[in-house]
Structure 1
Amino acid sequence: MSVTDHQSGTHLQEISDGVYRISTPVMLPGDAGAFSFNQYLIDDDEPLLFHTGLRQLFPAVLDAVTRVMPAQRLRHVAFSHVEADECGALNQWLAVAPQATALCGTVAAMVSVNDLADRPPRPLADGEALALGRHTVRWLDAPHLPHAWECGFLAEERTGTLFCGDLFTQPGTGMPALTQADILGPSEAFRHNMDYFSHTPQAGELLEKLARLRPGTLACMHGSAWQGDGAGLLRALAAELARPA
């Protein structure tokens, strides 16, 4: 399935079995230029949305979800860390999906989501898995990678998809939903221009933790999702981060 809403520019495409990328192009203020915000929907017995999108993007993202399934079927609303583009529309999703629950790491629940969410969240411990039906997701704590104490990622085991949040952020719009082309170069250029990494000394160790999963798809929050040797690309990012500034 590949659908574009011509009013908002929001593009919906299945990037692996039952996993859909929803991408909306925007123009950032100032000199930052064109950018994109991606959400990912896993359609299963217990559907999961990774990233809610900004509150202002909720109507466009909702429309994209309803092209795959009724929004009220949604059971899990997950995100990497607490930031407007990650969870700004959380309560709007909880309102349209009465059985849905916020899904996050234990630190995020403790410091923010217990208070922010209109219903109690379901916190996941590091390494904890959750079966959705045909798909199984596993939470991985990754504090301060690239930023936020509560940061973590979800790995979907059946398709080998790592929902890697702000890692490999690529600026611009109009990129393919799924690519095998270089994303490390563009993402590193963007990082050097607008440094959003915390530069935690544990970055290499955390990236190796992710690399050991050997993902075949990296579901990036900004830009194209990527298909290939995910372990190699994660280790290449670790090598870039280890370079002297």
Structure 2
Amino acid sequence: MQTRIAEIAAGLYRLSTFVPEVAAPAGFTFNQFLVLGDEPLLFHTGFRRMFPLVRDAVARILPPERLRWIAFGHYEADECGAMNEWLAVAPRAEVAHGQTACLVSLNDMADRAPRILADGEVLDIGGRRLRYLDTPHIPHGWEAGVMFEETTGTLLCGDLFTQAGDGPALTEGDVVGPAIAAEDLFRYSSLNPGMGATIRRLAALAPRTLALMHGPSFAGDGAAALGALAADYDRRVGAAMA
């Protein structure tokens, strides 16, 4: 395996590892995002066993010990499995997440106490502002949340828009259709009546880039893509309730 690096927005890097054995024969990408600033932030840590690959990729951009913030969508191995390895290599780093994640898991599992972020709180990393938004059960996990990097208009959207396969680092093509297909295949989302409203709240941010954890990042009308995804989840929820 190798971890590829691509700058998907100014000062925002996608670190991508393709694993052909997952969701074979298409395979699956596991992506982390490094946001540069006076206090650099890594969104997703990758699996614990993937740490050497991701660390070496980060080292090609900045010294890993400079990392200041560690964040992720929800508490799951591919999102935060290497959390403590990063805390060990970066002595000033702190994990930052919402109240639910911190109280339920991170206060115990993180080797250093995490920073609790309120819904809508902005984390200023020096030259960039990342707004944290609670998205409980979207797409899964009651502690789920996303971050919006205001300078570049990039939504770090975790497992939203998950798709199988390998592809370009950045696309202007369809990311909704492949996400619908992945939902049909994996059934990974926690269907609930609030899904559409929560996703439309993200659409209101009008992101210009969508940073997907599994799949290519998207450049274009992020609001339209989120709206279409919300509509599909509304359809699924309605069918399930019927």
Range into which the TM-score falls when normalised by the shorter chain: over 0.9
CA contact (8 A) 2:23 2:164 kept: no
- In the TM superposition, residue 43 of structure 1 has moved relative to its aligned partner by 1.3
- Equivalent residue of 2:139, what SS? coil
- Aligned pair partner of 1:226 in 212, 215, 218: 218
Q: Is 1:158 the counterpart of 2:171 in the alignment?
A: no
- In the TM superposition, residue 28 of structure 1 has moved relative to its aligned partner by 3.7
Residue 49 of structure 1 is matched in structure 2 by 42
List, as ranges, runs of 4+ consecutive aligned residues in structure 1 with deviation greater than 6 Å.
none
Aligned sequence identity (%): 54
Query: Could you tell me which amino acid in structure 2 is paired with residue 99 of structure 1?
Result: R
- Equivalent residue of 2:113, what SS? coil
Task: Give unpaired runs (5+ residues) of structure 2.
Answer: none
Q: Is 1:69 the counterpart of 2:62 in the alignment?
A: yes
Q: Is 1:122 the counterpart of 2:94 in the alignment?
A: no
- In the TM superposition, residue 229 of structure 1 has moved relative to its aligned partner by 0.7
Deviation string, structure 1 residues 19-43 (Cα, Å, up to 9, x no partner): 0000001134575751010000011
Residue 32 of structure 2 is matched in structure 1 by 39
Deviation string, structure 1 residues 55-97 (Cα, Å, up to 9, x no partner): 1111010011000000000000001100000000000000000
Residue 112 of structure 1 is matched in structure 2 by 105
CA contact (8 A) 2:140 2:189 kept: yes
- Aligned pair partner of 2:5 in 6, 9, 12: 12
How many Å separate the matches in 2 of 1:9 and 1:224?
Answer: 16
- In the TM superposition, residue 187 of structure 1 has moved relative to its aligned partner by 1.3
Deviation string, structure 1 residues 116-158 (Cα, Å, up to 9, x no partner): 0000000100000011111100000000000000000000000
- Aligned pair partner of 1:143 in 132, 136, 155: 136
Query: Could you tell me which amino acid in structure 1 is paired with residue 177 of structure 2?
Result: G
How many Å separate the matches in 1 of 2:65 and 2:24?
Answer: 39
Residue 178 of structure 2 is matched in structure 1 by 186
Task: Give unpaired runs (5+ residues) of structure 1.
Answer: 1-7
Q: Is 1:177 the counterpart of 2:172 in the alignment?
A: no
Residue 193 of structure 2 is matched in structure 1 by 201
How many Å separate the matches in 2 of 1:86 and 1:33?
Answer: 21
Deviation string, structure 1 residues 140-186 (Cα, Å, up to 9, x no partner): 0000000000000000000000000000011012x111100111111
Residue 25 of structure 1 is matched in structure 2 by 18
Residue 213 of structure 1 is matched in structure 2 by 205
